[in-house]
Amino acid sequence: MDLKYKVLAIAVVAVIVSTAVYMHLGNKSQVQGTTTAYQTTINQHQTTSPQPTASLSGARYGQQFCLDASSNAMAMTYAVENGITCFRADIGLNQGEMNFISNVTKAGGSYLGILDYVTLGAQTSRYGCASNCNWNLSTWNATVAQALADYPEVRQWEIYNEPLIRQFMGGYENGSALNYFNMIRSASEIIRSRDPNATIVCFGGAQTFPFSVMQNEYQFYAQVWSYGASKYCDAISLHSYILPYHSLNQSLSGNATITEELNYTVNLYENLTGKPIWITETGLPSNSNYTLGLNFTEQEQNTFLQQDMEFYSSYPFVKRIYWFHLEGSVARGLDYGLLNGTTLQPKPSWYSFLSFVNRSAVRWTLVRASAPRREEAQS
């Protein structure tokens, strides 16, 4: 999701004795005490959840490696020229963004467009919707139809961004599973009527970490699915951040590792939906001026990226992985970018990301030669 639309304030949270503090993007701070119950749950599912290893035959590098897009034309040109062709961005109904996305598409890029509060013209804040908040399902339907008309080059659509994060709630999207299902259904019907071959991605980035947040969100999305969302979704979207940690090898309380927790979660959602999974946001900042001591180096960011991409590449049902973000914002203390937020100079993580893009390109060259037809949601 584009940084210009993020609320970037970081909540200050105290770490108390054995309580692990998990901080997500912007104001998405959550506190969870990692309990014995978590370790018990993990142990109960070890036999049914495949471990993320290379033994998952045929999985690695069949994915596409993508980026949450920048609004900087120079950065986007640099990315496309280096072979990165899939991007993700909020869709705003303004001529400037229409022209920008059209130009990137003409240069060889493609977009996963997010239909959300930005599209609706709602103003977010850390406390919830701040203005243009009284929209209903009819408003949503009209806005979706307008977005389809304004962005004919966009063929992949994500239904909202993080619908359970307070700062993004507003109007009809009020935390009701039934309301979110209705938004999926009506948007899908509108999109299909205009573009029968479009790809529709649901869940808007269900959180994978920490465990307590994942549990609450999973109950919501399971309810959405129970209403019949499968009929309207080609893929589902997960968001994967592990702050305040910086390595998948780090252990949590009870000796569980972050890898085990993420493994459990990604399999949980695949078992629920049976749909391809797109990781539409994942990342780690560097050069950040946090007040909590989370000032990761560029090398730590690079190491996390390598672990992260290898981890999700091991699952045959994970089809796309979007790193957040192409370009960072050092001034706001959220430099998740692969390019330095001030100079646009590549960080070490940029070169590692390109190596995954190149391995994926080689893999798909071989796949297309033998089986040129494939579903969009499978890519």
pLDDT tens profile 331-367: 555 789 999 888 899 999 999 999 999 988 665 444 4
Count of alpha carbons within 13 Å of 208, Cβ hemisphere only? Answer: 32
What's the confidence (pLDDT) of residue 342? 82
CA distance 26 to 124: 12
Which whole number is the average pLDDT over 98-102?
A: 98
Q: Rounding to the nearest 10 degrees, give the CA dihedral for residues 368, 373, 377, 378.
A: -50
pLDDT at 44 over 60: no
Question: How many residues are there in the chain?
Answer: 379
Q: Tens of pLDDT along 57-67?
A: 335 768 999 99
H/E stretch holding 110 reads strand 110-115
Average pLDDT, the chain: 82
- Res. 309 pLDDT band, cuts 50 70 90: very high
**Is pLDDT at 114 greater than 70 in this prediction?**
yes
How confident is the model over 180-234, as pLDDT tens digits? 999 999 999 999 999 999 999 999 999 999 998 999 999 999 999 999 999 999 9
- Sequence-ordered list of residues with C-beta below 8 angstroms from that of 49, at least 6 positions apart, any chain: 263, 264, 267, 268
Q: Could you tell me the residue range of the domain that residue 153 belongs to?
A: 3-378
Q: What is the pLDDT of residue 289?
A: 60
| Inter-residue contact 339 to 328 (CB < 8 Å) | yes
| Residue 5 tokens, joined | 């639309």
Q: Structurally, how many domains does the chain consist of?
A: 1
The CATH number given to whatever domain includes residue 173 is: 3.20.20.80
Cβ atoms of 311 and 264 within 8 Å: the answer is no
Cα(192)–Cα(199) distance, integer angstroms: 9
- The helix (run of H) or strand (run of E) holding residue 98 is helix 95-106
Q: Which band of pLDDT confidence, cut at 50, 70 and 90, is reported for residue 295?
A: confident
State residue 40's pLDDT score: 40
pLDDT tens readout for residues 121-150: 999 888 888 999 999 999 999 999 999 999
Considering only residues 155 and 365, tell me which one the structure prediction assigns the higher pLDDT: 155
Which residue did the predictor score with more confidence, 28 or 321?
321
Cβ-based burial of 218 (10 A; exposed 0-12, middle 13-18, buried ≥19): middle
Strand, helix or coil at 64? strand
* Nearest residue to 28 via CA among 173, 284, 178, 210: 210
- Residue by residue, DSSP assigns 113-158 as EEESHHHHTPEEETTEEEES----HHHHHHHHHHHHHH-TT--EEE
Q: What's the pLDDT tens digit per position in 223-269?
A: 999 999 999 999 999 999 998 899 999 998 777 899 999 999 999 99
Q: Is the pLDDT of residue 29 over 60?
A: no
Token code pair at residue 25 = 């993007």
